């Protein structure tokens, strides 16, 4: 019998906090057949960098868990919390592939990151062993790209929202409920996150 491998999208970021821009993109990729699942890999705090408003790893993970609850195609992952720092994507993908041999991993990156991909660690190895999905970013023309095998441009609708914008607004006392998953909004308010 032919083996069916699970197409698993890997969406990495600091998710400080996760917002509807992230969630809508991942939702689209699942429902329009690009992947079966998306795993949100929360990037650990870099101990050598000073981040004034980067919440602790566990708290950002808690917000992602709240956002993905109830939708079986999404998973919140702390996989990179347990890897040596800095967690290069090639190491993350290789370890995921060893741990989950029934899955193929699809790295989900914006066209801006693709433009700098040759400066990542071992980009050729990523392209030999895994898959990449590139989604549009303002100022980057996906149509003009010639892409290697295993790399695909996906023409997803995008919401122009950033975590920085949301943090700034909350700090100014604004109510940003419609930019966030309701449960994430509730937790941010209950725990008084991003207020100073």
Ligand X SMILES: Nc1ncnc2c1ncn2[C@@H]1O[C@H](COP(=O)(O)OP(=O)(O)OP(=O)(O)O)[C@@H](O)[C@H]1O
Ligand Y SMILES: O=C(O)c1ccc[n+]([C@@H]2O[C@H](COP(=O)([O-])O)[C@@H](O)[C@H]2O)c1
Where does this chain bind ligand X (CB under 6 A)? 13-16, 21-22, 25, 110, 113, 158-164
Q: Which is nearer to ligand Y, 32 or 120 (CB)?
A: 120
Q: Which residue's C-beta sits nearest to ligand Y?
A: 12
Q: Considering the rule CB under 6 A, would residue 120 count as an interface residue with ligand Y?
A: yes
Q: Which is nearer to ligand Y, 113 or 156 (CB)?
A: 113
Q: Which residues of 65-95 are buried (b: 16+ CB within 10 A; e: fewer)?
A: bbbbeeeebbbbbebbbeeeeebbbbebbbe
Handedness of CA 175, 181, 182, 187 (dihedral sign): negative
Q: Contacts with ligand Y: how many residues (CB under 6 A)?
A: 8
* Member of 8, 16, 43, 62 binding ligand Y (CB under 6 A): 43
CA 29 – CA 6 distance, rounded (Å)? 14
Could you tell me the smallest distance in angstroms from the CB atom of residue 189 to ligand X?
Answer: 19
Q: Considering the rule CB under 6 A, would residue 89 count as an interface residue with ligand Y?
A: yes
| Contact (Cβ atoms closer than 8 angstroms) between residue 40 and residue 15 | yes
**Which residues of the chain form contacts with ligand Y (CB under 6 A)?**
12-13, 43, 88-89, 113, 120-121
């Amino acid at each position: 019998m032919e083996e069916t491998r699970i197409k698993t999208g890997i969406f990495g970021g600091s998710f400080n906090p996760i917002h509807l821009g992230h969630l809508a993109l991942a939702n689209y990729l699942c429902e329009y057949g690009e992947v079966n699942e998306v795993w949100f890999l929360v990037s650990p705090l870099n101990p050598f960098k000073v981040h004034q408003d980067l919440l602790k790893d566990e708290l950002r993970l808690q917000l992602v868990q709240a956002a993905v609850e109830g939708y079986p195609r999404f998973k919140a992952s702390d996989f990179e919390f347990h890897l040596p720092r800095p967690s290069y994507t090639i190491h993350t993908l290789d370890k995921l592939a060893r741990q989950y041999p029934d899955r193929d991993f699809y790295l989900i990156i914006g066209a801006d990151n693709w433009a700098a991909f040759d400066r990542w660690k071992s980009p050729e190895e990523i392209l030999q062993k895994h898959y990449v999905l590139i989604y549009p970013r303002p100022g980057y023309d996906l149509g003009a790209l010639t892409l290697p095998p295993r790399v695909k441009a996906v023409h997803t609708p995008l919401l122009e929202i950033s975590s920085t914008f949301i943090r700034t607004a909350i700090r100014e006392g604004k109510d940003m409920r419609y930019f966030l998953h309701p449960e994430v909004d509730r937790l941010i308010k209950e725990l008084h996150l991003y207020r100073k």
